[in-house]
Structure 1
Protein backbone atom coordinates (compact mmCIF):
# COMPACT_ATOMS: atom_id res chain seq x y z
CA UNK A 1 0.00 0.00 0.00
CA UNK A 2 1.22 3.52 -0.82
CA UNK A 3 2.24 5.48 2.27
CA UNK A 4 0.08 8.42 1.14
CA UNK A 5 -2.99 6.18 1.13
CA UNK A 6 -2.10 4.72 4.53
CA UNK A 7 -1.60 8.21 5.94
CA UNK A 8 -4.98 9.50 4.73
CA UNK A 9 -6.85 6.48 6.04
CA UNK A 10 -5.03 6.66 9.39
CA UNK A 11 -5.94 10.32 9.88
CA UNK A 12 -9.46 9.89 8.55
CA UNK A 13 -10.08 7.43 11.39
CA UNK A 14 -8.28 9.52 14.02
CA UNK A 15 -10.24 12.64 13.12
CA UNK A 16 -13.61 10.87 13.35
CA UNK A 17 -12.65 9.28 16.67
CA UNK A 18 -11.58 12.69 17.99
CA UNK A 19 -14.86 14.25 16.89
CA UNK A 20 -16.81 11.57 18.75
CA UNK A 21 -14.65 11.84 21.88
CA UNK A 22 -15.02 15.62 21.91
CA UNK A 23 -18.80 15.30 21.57
CA UNK A 24 -18.80 12.86 24.49
CA UNK A 25 -16.92 15.31 26.72
CA UNK A 26 -19.20 18.22 25.80
CA UNK A 27 -22.30 16.10 26.30
CA UNK A 28 -21.31 14.97 29.79
CA UNK A 29 -20.28 18.48 30.80
CA UNK A 30 -23.64 19.82 29.64
CA UNK A 31 -25.52 17.11 31.56
CA UNK A 32 -23.48 17.82 34.70
CA UNK A 33 -24.18 21.54 34.42
CA UNK A 34 -27.92 20.80 34.68
CA UNK A 35 -27.63 19.01 38.04
CA UNK A 36 -29.04 20.88 41.06
CA UNK A 37 -25.66 20.48 42.79
CA UNK A 38 -23.88 22.32 39.97
CA UNK A 39 -23.69 26.00 40.94
CA UNK A 40 -21.13 27.02 38.33
CA UNK A 41 -21.99 25.88 34.81
CA UNK A 42 -18.71 27.24 33.47
CA UNK A 43 -16.73 25.01 35.87
CA UNK A 44 -18.20 21.91 34.20
CA UNK A 45 -16.92 22.98 30.77
CA UNK A 46 -13.55 24.53 31.61
CA UNK A 47 -11.66 21.19 31.96
CA UNK A 48 -12.55 20.40 28.33
CA UNK A 49 -9.96 22.96 27.23
CA UNK A 50 -7.35 20.77 28.95
CA UNK A 51 -8.57 17.53 27.34
CA UNK A 52 -10.00 18.27 23.92
CA UNK A 53 -7.68 18.68 20.94
CA UNK A 54 -7.11 22.24 19.84
CA UNK A 55 -4.57 24.88 19.00
CA UNK A 56 -4.63 26.66 22.36
CA UNK A 57 -6.05 29.86 20.85
CA UNK A 58 -9.18 30.11 23.00
CA UNK A 59 -8.02 33.21 24.89
CA UNK A 60 -6.90 34.87 21.66
CA UNK A 61 -10.19 34.16 19.86
CA UNK A 62 -12.70 34.65 22.70
CA UNK A 63 -11.04 36.24 25.72
CA UNK A 64 -13.95 35.74 28.12
CA UNK A 65 -14.27 32.27 29.63
CA UNK A 66 -17.90 31.11 29.51
CA UNK A 67 -19.62 27.82 28.73
CA UNK A 68 -21.14 29.32 25.56
CA UNK A 69 -17.72 30.40 24.26
CA UNK A 70 -16.18 27.03 25.15
CA UNK A 71 -18.91 25.24 23.18
CA UNK A 72 -18.42 27.61 20.23
CA UNK A 73 -14.66 27.00 20.26
CA UNK A 74 -14.67 23.24 20.84
CA UNK A 75 -17.70 22.30 18.74
CA UNK A 76 -17.94 24.78 15.88
CA UNK A 77 -15.02 27.14 15.40
CA UNK A 78 -13.38 26.69 11.97
CA UNK A 79 -10.34 28.56 13.34
CA UNK A 80 -9.81 25.72 15.83
CA UNK A 81 -8.38 22.70 14.02
CA UNK A 82 -9.56 20.52 16.92
CA UNK A 83 -13.22 21.56 16.88
CA UNK A 84 -15.83 18.93 16.05
CA UNK A 85 -16.70 20.58 12.74
CA UNK A 86 -13.02 20.95 11.75
CA UNK A 87 -12.35 17.31 12.60
CA UNK A 88 -15.30 16.11 10.53
CA UNK A 89 -14.10 18.29 7.66
CA UNK A 90 -10.57 16.85 7.92
CA UNK A 91 -11.89 13.29 8.04
CA UNK A 92 -13.97 13.97 4.93
CA UNK A 93 -11.01 15.52 3.08
CA UNK A 94 -8.80 12.55 3.92
CA UNK A 95 -11.53 10.20 2.69
CA UNK A 96 -12.03 12.24 -0.50
CA UNK A 97 -8.35 11.87 -1.29
CA UNK A 98 -8.66 8.07 -1.10
CA UNK A 99 -12.15 7.34 -2.38
CA UNK A 100 -10.89 4.33 -4.29
CA UNK A 101 -9.43 2.83 -1.09
CA UNK A 102 -12.68 2.91 0.90
CA UNK A 103 -16.15 1.64 0.13
CA UNK A 104 -18.70 3.95 -1.48
CA UNK A 105 -20.90 3.51 1.62
CA UNK A 106 -18.12 4.73 3.92
CA UNK A 107 -17.53 7.78 1.71
CA UNK A 108 -21.23 8.59 1.57
CA UNK A 109 -21.55 8.47 5.38
CA UNK A 110 -18.63 10.85 5.87
CA UNK A 111 -19.65 13.18 3.07
CA UNK A 112 -23.25 13.45 4.27
CA UNK A 113 -22.03 14.08 7.84
CA UNK A 114 -19.91 17.01 6.67
CA UNK A 115 -22.70 18.44 4.51
CA UNK A 116 -24.95 18.60 7.57
CA UNK A 117 -22.48 20.62 9.66
CA UNK A 118 -20.50 22.68 7.15
CA UNK A 119 -22.66 25.78 7.63
CA UNK A 120 -23.64 25.21 11.26
CA UNK A 121 -23.27 28.26 13.52
CA UNK A 122 -24.03 28.76 17.21
CA UNK A 123 -27.61 29.88 16.60
CA UNK A 124 -28.16 26.76 14.49
CA UNK A 125 -26.65 24.64 17.26
CA UNK A 126 -29.02 26.21 19.79
CA UNK A 127 -32.00 25.37 17.57
CA UNK A 128 -30.67 21.83 17.09
CA UNK A 129 -30.16 21.42 20.82
CA UNK A 130 -26.87 20.70 22.56
CA UNK A 131 -27.69 17.15 23.58
CA UNK A 132 -29.27 16.26 20.25
CA UNK A 133 -26.21 17.55 18.39
CA UNK A 134 -23.73 15.71 20.60
CA UNK A 135 -25.75 12.49 20.29
CA UNK A 136 -25.85 12.97 16.52
CA UNK A 137 -22.06 13.28 16.30
CA UNK A 138 -21.63 10.10 18.33
CA UNK A 139 -24.16 8.26 16.19
CA UNK A 140 -22.50 9.38 12.95
CA UNK A 141 -19.13 8.17 14.23
CA UNK A 142 -20.65 4.82 15.21
CA UNK A 143 -22.35 4.58 11.83
CA UNK A 144 -19.11 5.34 10.01
CA UNK A 145 -17.15 2.68 11.93
CA UNK A 146 -19.91 0.14 11.39
CA UNK A 147 -20.04 0.82 7.65
CA UNK A 148 -16.24 0.56 7.41
CA UNK A 149 -16.24 -2.75 9.26
CA UNK A 150 -19.15 -4.16 7.28
CA UNK A 151 -18.35 -2.99 3.72
CA UNK A 152 -14.56 -2.68 3.34
CA UNK A 153 -12.09 -5.42 2.62
CA UNK A 154 -10.18 -6.22 5.79
CA UNK A 155 -6.90 -5.46 4.06
CA UNK A 156 -4.05 -3.10 4.90
CA UNK A 157 -6.24 -0.03 4.35
CA UNK A 158 -8.72 -1.33 6.90
CA UNK A 159 -5.85 -2.02 9.31
CA UNK A 160 -4.60 1.58 9.15
CA UNK A 161 -8.12 2.75 9.90
CA UNK A 162 -8.13 0.48 12.97
CA UNK A 163 -4.75 1.82 14.09
CA UNK A 164 -5.94 5.42 13.83
CA UNK A 165 -9.14 4.68 15.75
CA UNK A 166 -7.59 2.86 18.69
CA UNK A 167 -4.48 5.01 19.12
CA UNK A 168 -6.75 8.05 19.28
CA UNK A 169 -9.21 6.32 21.62
CA UNK A 170 -6.44 5.31 24.04
CA UNK A 171 -5.11 8.87 24.12
CA UNK A 172 -8.56 10.25 24.89
CA UNK A 173 -9.30 7.76 27.68
CA UNK A 174 -5.97 8.49 29.37
CA UNK A 175 -6.44 12.27 29.16
CA UNK A 176 -9.98 12.18 30.53
CA UNK A 177 -8.96 9.98 33.46
CA UNK A 178 -5.91 12.13 34.24
CA UNK A 179 -7.80 15.43 34.15
CA UNK A 180 -10.53 14.00 36.37
CA UNK A 181 -7.99 13.48 39.14
CA UNK A 182 -6.04 16.69 38.67
CA UNK A 183 -8.45 19.30 37.29
CA UNK A 184 -12.04 18.38 38.13
CA UNK A 185 -11.35 17.66 41.81
CA UNK A 186 -8.21 19.47 42.93
CA UNK A 187 -9.59 19.75 46.49
CA UNK A 188 -9.15 16.36 48.19
CA UNK A 189 -11.76 17.29 50.81
CA UNK A 190 -14.47 16.87 48.19
CA UNK A 191 -13.57 13.25 47.43
CA UNK A 192 -16.33 10.86 48.43
CA UNK A 193 -19.13 13.42 48.57
CA UNK A 194 -22.37 13.51 46.61
CA UNK A 195 -20.95 15.84 43.96
CA UNK A 196 -17.95 13.56 43.69
CA UNK A 197 -20.22 10.57 43.00
CA UNK A 198 -21.97 12.42 40.17
CA UNK A 199 -18.69 13.59 38.67
CA UNK A 200 -17.21 10.07 38.68
CA UNK A 201 -20.44 8.83 37.10
CA UNK A 202 -20.08 11.56 34.48
CA UNK A 203 -16.56 10.35 33.74
CA UNK A 204 -17.88 6.83 33.11
CA UNK A 205 -20.63 8.15 30.85
CA UNK A 206 -18.11 10.21 28.87
CA UNK A 207 -16.47 6.96 27.74
CA UNK A 208 -19.72 4.95 27.52
CA UNK A 209 -18.76 2.80 30.50
CA UNK A 210 -21.37 3.45 33.21
CA UNK A 211 -23.39 0.28 32.65
CA UNK A 212 -20.22 -1.73 32.08
CA UNK A 213 -18.99 -0.58 35.51
CA UNK A 214 -22.23 -1.71 37.13
CA UNK A 215 -22.06 -5.10 35.47
CA UNK A 216 -18.46 -5.70 36.49
CA UNK A 217 -18.44 -4.34 40.05
CA UNK A 218 -22.10 -4.36 41.21
CA UNK A 219 -21.26 -1.57 43.64
CA UNK A 220 -21.14 2.17 44.13
CA UNK A 221 -18.70 4.21 42.09
CA UNK A 222 -15.16 4.14 43.48
CA UNK A 223 -12.27 6.00 41.81
CA UNK A 224 -9.80 3.10 41.99
CA UNK A 225 -12.27 0.74 40.35
CA UNK A 226 -12.96 3.25 37.60
CA UNK A 227 -9.21 3.49 37.01
CA UNK A 228 -8.96 -0.30 36.87
CA UNK A 229 -11.87 -0.52 34.40
CA UNK A 230 -10.48 2.15 32.08
CA UNK A 231 -6.84 1.11 32.26
CA UNK A 232 -6.53 -2.65 32.78
CA UNK A 233 -9.81 -4.35 31.82
CA UNK A 234 -9.28 -6.23 28.55
CA UNK A 235 -13.04 -6.52 27.87
CA UNK A 236 -13.79 -2.79 28.22
CA UNK A 237 -13.89 -1.35 24.65
CA UNK A 238 -12.38 2.00 25.60
CA UNK A 239 -9.83 0.79 28.13
CA UNK A 240 -6.14 1.30 27.48
CA UNK A 241 -5.61 -2.48 27.61
CA UNK A 242 -8.26 -3.20 24.99
CA UNK A 243 -7.05 -0.41 22.68
CA UNK A 244 -3.50 -1.74 22.75
CA UNK A 245 -4.61 -5.31 22.25
CA UNK A 246 -6.18 -4.19 18.96
CA UNK A 247 -3.11 -2.10 18.09
CA UNK A 248 -0.73 -5.03 18.69
CA UNK A 249 -2.84 -7.46 16.66
CA UNK A 250 -3.13 -4.94 13.81
CA UNK A 251 0.60 -4.17 13.76
CA UNK A 252 1.39 -7.89 13.67
CA UNK A 253 -0.80 -8.21 10.57
CA UNK A 254 0.83 -5.18 8.93
CA UNK A 255 4.46 -5.90 9.82
CA UNK A 256 4.49 -9.67 9.33
CA UNK A 257 8.01 -10.87 10.16
CA UNK A 258 9.58 -7.40 9.92
CA UNK A 259 11.18 -6.14 13.12
CA UNK A 260 9.71 -2.64 13.21
CA UNK A 261 10.38 -0.11 15.94
CA UNK A 262 6.69 0.80 16.18
CA UNK A 263 5.91 -2.83 17.07
CA UNK A 264 8.53 -2.78 19.84
CA UNK A 265 7.13 0.45 21.33
CA UNK A 266 3.57 -0.86 21.19
CA UNK A 267 4.65 -4.20 22.68
CA UNK A 268 6.30 -2.51 25.64
CA UNK A 269 3.17 -0.55 26.45
CA UNK A 270 0.92 -3.55 25.90
CA UNK A 271 2.94 -5.72 28.29
CA UNK A 272 2.62 -3.03 30.96
CA UNK A 273 -1.16 -3.00 30.54
CA UNK A 274 -1.64 -6.75 30.21
CA UNK A 275 0.38 -7.71 33.26
CA UNK A 276 -0.12 -4.59 35.36
CA UNK A 277 -2.07 -4.37 38.62
CA UNK A 278 -4.08 -1.37 39.75
CA UNK A 279 -2.38 -1.25 43.17
CA UNK A 280 0.98 -0.95 41.41
CA UNK A 281 -0.42 1.86 39.23
CA UNK A 282 -1.52 3.83 42.28
CA UNK A 283 1.74 3.10 44.07
CA UNK A 284 3.61 4.63 41.14
CA UNK A 285 1.10 7.46 41.01
CA UNK A 286 -1.89 7.55 38.67
CA UNK A 287 -0.91 10.90 37.19
CA UNK A 288 2.63 9.72 36.55
CA UNK A 289 1.38 6.47 35.01
CA UNK A 290 -1.05 8.25 32.69
CA UNK A 291 1.45 10.94 31.73
CA UNK A 292 3.94 8.22 30.81
CA UNK A 293 1.28 6.35 28.84
CA UNK A 294 0.29 9.45 26.86
CA UNK A 295 3.96 10.06 26.03
CA UNK A 296 4.38 6.42 24.91
CA UNK A 297 1.21 6.60 22.84
CA UNK A 298 2.42 9.79 21.15
CA UNK A 299 5.80 8.17 20.52
CA UNK A 300 4.02 5.27 18.84
CA UNK A 301 2.17 7.68 16.57
CA UNK A 302 5.44 9.37 15.61
CA UNK A 303 7.11 6.02 14.94
CA UNK A 304 4.20 4.87 12.79
CA UNK A 305 4.78 7.96 10.66
CA UNK A 306 8.40 6.95 10.20
CA UNK A 307 7.75 3.25 9.58
CA UNK A 308 4.69 3.45 7.34
CA UNK A 309 3.49 6.94 6.53
CA UNK A 310 4.81 10.00 4.70
CA UNK A 311 4.95 13.15 6.77
CA UNK A 312 5.88 14.16 10.33
CA UNK A 313 3.03 13.77 12.82
CA UNK A 314 2.42 17.49 13.34
CA UNK A 315 1.95 18.07 9.62
CA UNK A 316 -0.35 15.09 9.26
CA UNK A 317 -2.45 16.17 12.20
CA UNK A 318 -3.07 19.52 10.58
CA UNK A 319 -4.15 17.93 7.29
Structure 2
Protein backbone atom coordinates (compact mmCIF):
# COMPACT_ATOMS: atom_id res chain seq x y z
CA UNK A 1 0.00 0.00 0.00
CA UNK A 2 1.20 3.47 -0.83
CA UNK A 3 1.53 6.27 1.71
CA UNK A 4 -1.65 7.77 3.15
CA UNK A 5 -2.98 9.94 0.28
CA UNK A 6 -3.24 13.07 2.39
CA UNK A 7 -5.85 15.75 2.83
CA UNK A 8 -8.67 16.20 0.32
CA UNK A 9 -10.09 19.72 0.31
CA UNK A 10 -13.63 19.86 -1.09
CA UNK A 11 -14.73 23.34 -2.12
CA UNK A 12 -18.12 24.69 -1.03
CA UNK A 13 -19.55 27.97 -2.35
CA UNK A 14 -22.78 29.91 -2.41
CA UNK A 15 -24.94 28.32 -5.11
CA UNK A 16 -23.23 24.98 -4.54
CA UNK A 17 -23.91 22.20 -7.08
CA UNK A 18 -25.42 19.61 -4.73
CA UNK A 19 -24.89 16.40 -6.68
CA UNK A 20 -21.28 17.17 -7.58
CA UNK A 21 -20.55 18.06 -3.95
CA UNK A 22 -22.21 14.83 -2.81
CA UNK A 23 -19.99 12.80 -5.13
CA UNK A 24 -16.85 14.18 -3.51
CA UNK A 25 -18.22 13.59 0.00
CA UNK A 26 -19.31 10.04 -0.82
CA UNK A 27 -15.96 8.96 -2.21
CA UNK A 28 -13.44 10.89 -0.13
CA UNK A 29 -15.21 11.66 3.17
CA UNK A 30 -17.28 8.54 3.89
CA UNK A 31 -15.85 6.13 6.51
CA UNK A 32 -14.47 2.93 4.95
CA UNK A 33 -14.68 0.16 7.58
CA UNK A 34 -14.20 -2.40 4.79
CA UNK A 35 -10.53 -1.38 4.54
CA UNK A 36 -7.83 -2.03 7.14
CA UNK A 37 -5.78 1.02 6.14
CA UNK A 38 -6.21 4.77 6.55
CA UNK A 39 -8.58 6.48 4.11
CA UNK A 40 -8.46 10.09 2.95
CA UNK A 41 -8.62 12.94 5.45
CA UNK A 42 -10.98 15.68 4.27
CA UNK A 43 -12.06 19.26 4.94
CA UNK A 44 -14.97 21.27 3.55
CA UNK A 45 -13.47 24.58 2.41
CA UNK A 46 -15.62 27.71 2.11
CA UNK A 47 -15.00 29.79 -1.01
CA UNK A 48 -17.48 32.52 0.04
CA UNK A 49 -18.63 34.00 3.36
CA UNK A 50 -21.61 32.06 4.74
CA UNK A 51 -24.35 31.11 4.55
CA UNK A 52 -23.49 28.76 1.67
CA UNK A 53 -26.78 27.96 -0.03
CA UNK A 54 -26.84 24.80 -2.11
CA UNK A 55 -29.07 23.83 -5.02
CA UNK A 56 -32.26 22.48 -3.48
CA UNK A 57 -32.59 25.13 -0.81
CA UNK A 58 -30.44 23.85 2.04
CA UNK A 59 -27.37 25.45 3.62
CA UNK A 60 -23.91 23.87 3.84
CA UNK A 61 -21.62 24.57 6.77
CA UNK A 62 -17.92 24.53 5.92
CA UNK A 63 -15.28 23.71 8.53
CA UNK A 64 -12.36 25.59 6.97
CA UNK A 65 -11.39 28.58 4.86
CA UNK A 66 -9.20 28.96 1.80
CA UNK A 67 -6.05 28.87 3.93
CA UNK A 68 -6.50 25.10 4.24
CA UNK A 69 -5.75 24.69 0.53
CA UNK A 70 -2.09 25.23 1.42
CA UNK A 71 -2.18 21.88 3.28
CA UNK A 72 -4.20 19.85 0.79
CA UNK A 73 -2.72 17.18 -1.41
CA UNK A 74 -5.93 17.03 -3.46
CA UNK A 75 -8.50 19.76 -4.17
CA UNK A 76 -11.95 18.95 -5.55
CA UNK A 77 -13.93 21.61 -7.46
CA UNK A 78 -17.51 20.23 -7.45
CA UNK A 79 -19.03 22.27 -10.26
CA UNK A 80 -19.40 26.06 -10.27
CA UNK A 81 -22.48 28.20 -9.70
CA UNK A 82 -22.35 29.73 -13.19
CA UNK A 83 -19.94 29.27 -16.05
CA UNK A 84 -20.47 32.98 -16.79
CA UNK A 85 -19.45 34.16 -13.29
CA UNK A 86 -15.72 34.64 -12.67
CA UNK A 87 -14.49 32.84 -9.54
CA UNK A 88 -13.18 35.03 -6.67
CA UNK A 89 -9.59 36.10 -7.18
CA UNK A 90 -8.66 34.85 -3.72
CA UNK A 91 -9.67 31.32 -4.72
CA UNK A 92 -7.73 31.51 -7.98
CA UNK A 93 -4.60 32.67 -6.16
CA UNK A 94 -4.78 29.75 -3.71
CA UNK A 95 -5.38 27.25 -6.52
CA UNK A 96 -2.33 28.52 -8.40
CA UNK A 97 -0.22 28.24 -5.26
CA UNK A 98 -1.48 24.73 -4.58
CA UNK A 99 -0.74 23.67 -8.13
CA UNK A 100 2.75 25.19 -7.99
CA UNK A 101 3.62 23.11 -4.93
CA UNK A 102 2.34 19.91 -6.55
CA UNK A 103 -1.21 19.51 -5.23
CA UNK A 104 -3.64 17.55 -7.38
CA UNK A 105 -6.80 19.25 -8.65
CA UNK A 106 -9.97 17.55 -9.85
CA UNK A 107 -12.98 19.33 -11.35
CA UNK A 108 -16.46 17.91 -11.82
CA UNK A 109 -18.63 19.20 -14.66
CA UNK A 110 -18.65 23.04 -14.71
CA UNK A 111 -15.89 23.14 -12.09
CA UNK A 112 -13.50 23.13 -15.04
CA UNK A 113 -14.27 26.84 -15.53
CA UNK A 114 -12.65 27.55 -12.16
CA UNK A 115 -9.44 25.72 -13.10
CA UNK A 116 -9.47 27.41 -16.50
CA UNK A 117 -9.87 30.86 -14.93
CA UNK A 118 -6.86 30.09 -12.73
CA UNK A 119 -4.82 29.42 -15.88
CA UNK A 120 -4.11 25.83 -14.83
CA UNK A 121 -5.39 24.25 -18.05
CA UNK A 122 -3.50 26.33 -20.61
CA UNK A 123 -1.82 24.05 -23.13
CA UNK A 124 -3.57 21.01 -21.64
CA UNK A 125 -6.35 18.69 -22.78
CA UNK A 126 -9.49 18.95 -20.66
CA UNK A 127 -13.17 18.08 -20.71
CA UNK A 128 -16.50 19.22 -19.30
CA UNK A 129 -20.17 18.49 -19.90
CA UNK A 130 -20.82 18.35 -23.63
CA UNK A 131 -23.29 21.24 -23.28
CA UNK A 132 -20.49 23.50 -21.98
CA UNK A 133 -17.67 22.38 -24.28
CA UNK A 134 -18.12 25.05 -26.94
CA UNK A 135 -18.30 27.83 -24.33
CA UNK A 136 -15.14 26.54 -22.63
CA UNK A 137 -13.26 26.38 -25.94
CA UNK A 138 -14.35 29.88 -26.96
CA UNK A 139 -13.50 31.51 -23.65
CA UNK A 140 -10.21 29.68 -23.14
CA UNK A 141 -8.71 28.96 -26.58
CA UNK A 142 -5.48 27.72 -25.02
CA UNK A 143 -7.25 24.60 -23.76
CA UNK A 144 -7.61 21.51 -25.97
CA UNK A 145 -11.25 20.74 -25.13
CA UNK A 146 -12.29 17.13 -25.66
CA UNK A 147 -16.05 16.71 -25.37
CA UNK A 148 -16.00 13.01 -26.25
CA UNK A 149 -14.61 11.56 -23.01
CA UNK A 150 -15.82 11.06 -19.44
CA UNK A 151 -12.67 12.50 -17.88
CA UNK A 152 -9.15 13.61 -18.74
CA UNK A 153 -6.17 12.85 -16.51
CA UNK A 154 -3.26 15.14 -17.36
CA UNK A 155 -1.29 14.04 -14.32
CA UNK A 156 -1.66 16.77 -11.75
CA UNK A 157 -5.04 17.96 -13.02
CA UNK A 158 -8.12 15.81 -13.72
CA UNK A 159 -11.22 17.24 -15.39
CA UNK A 160 -14.50 15.37 -15.79
CA UNK A 161 -17.59 15.71 -17.91
CA UNK A 162 -21.22 15.82 -16.75
CA UNK A 163 -22.06 15.31 -13.10
CA UNK A 164 -22.05 11.51 -13.01
CA UNK A 165 -18.73 11.44 -14.85
CA UNK A 166 -17.33 13.00 -11.69
CA UNK A 167 -17.81 9.59 -10.06
CA UNK A 168 -15.68 8.02 -12.79
CA UNK A 169 -12.96 10.63 -12.31
CA UNK A 170 -12.94 10.29 -8.51
CA UNK A 171 -12.80 6.50 -8.73
CA UNK A 172 -9.92 6.88 -11.18
CA UNK A 173 -8.05 8.96 -8.61
CA UNK A 174 -8.74 6.32 -5.95
CA UNK A 175 -7.31 3.74 -8.36
CA UNK A 176 -4.19 5.85 -8.83
CA UNK A 177 -3.72 5.97 -5.06
CA UNK A 178 -4.75 2.47 -4.01
CA UNK A 179 -5.05 0.29 -7.11
CA UNK A 180 -7.96 -1.20 -9.06
CA UNK A 181 -9.04 -3.66 -6.35
CA UNK A 182 -9.74 -0.87 -3.87
CA UNK A 183 -11.44 1.39 -6.41
CA UNK A 184 -13.60 -1.55 -7.52
CA UNK A 185 -14.63 -2.11 -3.90
CA UNK A 186 -15.65 1.55 -3.57
CA UNK A 187 -17.57 1.26 -6.85
CA UNK A 188 -19.44 -1.79 -5.58
CA UNK A 189 -20.52 0.16 -2.51
CA UNK A 190 -21.82 2.82 -4.91
CA UNK A 191 -23.56 0.04 -6.90
CA UNK A 192 -21.96 1.11 -10.15
CA UNK A 193 -19.47 -0.16 -12.69
CA UNK A 194 -15.83 0.37 -11.58
CA UNK A 195 -14.93 2.21 -14.80
CA UNK A 196 -17.41 2.90 -17.57
CA UNK A 197 -16.12 2.35 -21.08
CA UNK A 198 -16.76 4.75 -23.91
CA UNK A 199 -17.32 8.46 -23.59
CA UNK A 200 -19.92 11.21 -23.54
CA UNK A 201 -21.21 10.26 -26.98
CA UNK A 202 -23.28 7.49 -25.44
CA UNK A 203 -25.18 10.06 -23.33
CA UNK A 204 -25.95 12.61 -26.03
CA UNK A 205 -29.52 12.43 -27.31
CA UNK A 206 -29.85 10.11 -30.31
CA UNK A 207 -32.72 8.25 -31.97
CA UNK A 208 -33.62 5.02 -30.17
CA UNK A 209 -33.31 1.92 -32.33
CA UNK A 210 -36.64 0.26 -33.00
CA UNK A 211 -37.11 -3.36 -31.87
CA UNK A 212 -33.47 -4.36 -31.35
CA UNK A 213 -32.85 -7.94 -32.45
CA UNK A 214 -30.66 -8.78 -29.47
CA UNK A 215 -29.59 -7.26 -26.19
CA UNK A 216 -26.03 -6.04 -26.73
CA UNK A 217 -25.35 -6.41 -23.01
CA UNK A 218 -25.53 -10.19 -23.42
CA UNK A 219 -22.75 -10.04 -26.01
CA UNK A 220 -20.61 -7.85 -23.76
CA UNK A 221 -21.06 -10.25 -20.86
CA UNK A 222 -20.13 -13.16 -23.13
CA UNK A 223 -17.01 -11.33 -24.33
CA UNK A 224 -15.93 -10.66 -20.73
CA UNK A 225 -16.17 -14.39 -20.04
CA UNK A 226 -13.94 -15.14 -23.06
CA UNK A 227 -11.28 -12.45 -22.79
CA UNK A 228 -8.57 -15.11 -22.99
CA UNK A 229 -9.60 -15.90 -26.55
CA UNK A 230 -8.78 -14.04 -29.77
CA UNK A 231 -12.21 -12.41 -30.09
CA UNK A 232 -13.17 -10.89 -33.43
CA UNK A 233 -15.87 -8.55 -34.65
CA UNK A 234 -17.42 -11.30 -36.83
CA UNK A 235 -17.71 -13.55 -33.75
CA UNK A 236 -19.34 -10.83 -31.67
CA UNK A 237 -21.65 -9.76 -34.49
CA UNK A 238 -22.79 -13.35 -35.04
CA UNK A 239 -23.55 -13.76 -31.35
CA UNK A 240 -25.55 -10.52 -31.49
CA UNK A 241 -27.44 -11.87 -34.52
CA UNK A 242 -26.40 -8.84 -36.57
CA UNK A 243 -24.41 -8.11 -39.68
CA UNK A 244 -20.92 -6.75 -38.94
CA UNK A 245 -21.87 -3.31 -40.23
CA UNK A 246 -24.99 -3.13 -38.04
CA UNK A 247 -23.11 -4.51 -35.05
CA UNK A 248 -20.35 -1.90 -35.34
CA UNK A 249 -22.90 0.90 -35.58
CA UNK A 250 -24.94 -0.31 -32.61
CA UNK A 251 -21.83 -1.07 -30.58
CA UNK A 252 -20.63 2.51 -31.02
CA UNK A 253 -24.10 3.88 -30.22
CA UNK A 254 -24.20 1.85 -27.01
CA UNK A 255 -20.65 2.28 -25.74
CA UNK A 256 -19.22 5.32 -27.52
CA UNK A 257 -16.21 3.31 -28.68
CA UNK A 258 -15.12 0.47 -30.97
CA UNK A 259 -15.08 -3.27 -30.14
CA UNK A 260 -11.27 -3.24 -30.30
CA UNK A 261 -10.94 -0.36 -27.84
CA UNK A 262 -13.60 -1.85 -25.56
CA UNK A 263 -11.88 -5.24 -25.50
CA UNK A 264 -8.54 -3.59 -24.69
CA UNK A 265 -10.17 -1.72 -21.80
CA UNK A 266 -11.71 -4.92 -20.42
CA UNK A 267 -8.46 -6.86 -20.80
CA UNK A 268 -6.52 -4.19 -18.94
CA UNK A 269 -9.10 -4.20 -16.15
CA UNK A 270 -8.81 -7.98 -15.87
CA UNK A 271 -5.01 -7.78 -15.90
CA UNK A 272 -4.94 -5.18 -13.11
CA UNK A 273 -7.22 -7.31 -10.98
CA UNK A 274 -5.10 -10.42 -11.50
CA UNK A 275 -1.88 -8.56 -10.73
CA UNK A 276 -3.38 -7.28 -7.50
CA UNK A 277 -5.11 -10.42 -6.25
CA UNK A 278 -3.35 -13.47 -7.71
CA UNK A 279 0.09 -15.10 -7.81
CA UNK A 280 -0.12 -15.79 -11.55
CA UNK A 281 3.03 -14.89 -13.47
CA UNK A 282 3.09 -12.49 -16.40
CA UNK A 283 2.81 -15.27 -18.97
CA UNK A 284 -0.29 -16.70 -17.31
CA UNK A 285 -1.94 -13.31 -16.97
CA UNK A 286 -1.20 -12.51 -20.61
CA UNK A 287 -2.84 -15.77 -21.62
CA UNK A 288 -5.94 -15.21 -19.48
CA UNK A 289 -6.36 -11.70 -20.85
CA UNK A 290 -6.06 -12.65 -24.52
CA UNK A 291 -2.56 -11.44 -25.40
CA UNK A 292 -0.43 -13.39 -27.86
CA UNK A 293 2.65 -13.26 -25.62
CA UNK A 294 3.93 -11.97 -22.31
CA UNK A 295 5.93 -9.33 -24.15
CA UNK A 296 2.93 -7.96 -26.07
CA UNK A 297 1.06 -7.85 -22.76
CA UNK A 298 3.89 -5.91 -21.07
CA UNK A 299 3.99 -3.37 -23.90
CA UNK A 300 0.20 -2.88 -23.90
CA UNK A 301 0.02 -2.67 -20.10
CA UNK A 302 2.78 -0.09 -19.86
CA UNK A 303 1.21 1.97 -22.65
CA UNK A 304 -2.24 1.91 -21.02
CA UNK A 305 -1.45 2.04 -17.31
CA UNK A 306 1.89 3.81 -17.41
CA UNK A 307 3.67 1.16 -15.33
CA UNK A 308 5.29 -2.18 -16.02
CA UNK A 309 3.14 -5.10 -14.77
CA UNK A 310 5.80 -6.07 -12.21
CA UNK A 311 5.96 -2.54 -10.81
CA UNK A 312 2.16 -2.34 -10.68
CA UNK A 313 2.05 -5.59 -8.69
CA UNK A 314 4.76 -4.32 -6.34
CA UNK A 315 2.75 -1.14 -5.75
CA UNK A 316 -0.79 -2.50 -5.51
CA UNK A 317 -0.51 -6.25 -4.91
CA UNK A 318 -2.27 -7.97 -2.02
CA UNK A 319 0.81 -7.96 0.19
CA UNK A 320 0.67 -4.16 0.24
CA UNK A 321 -2.84 -4.05 1.75
Alignment TM-score, normalising by the size of structure 2: 0.29
* RCO comparison, higher one (Cα < 8 Å, 6+): 1
Structure number with higher helix proportion: 1
Alignment TM-score, normalising by the size of structure 1: 0.29
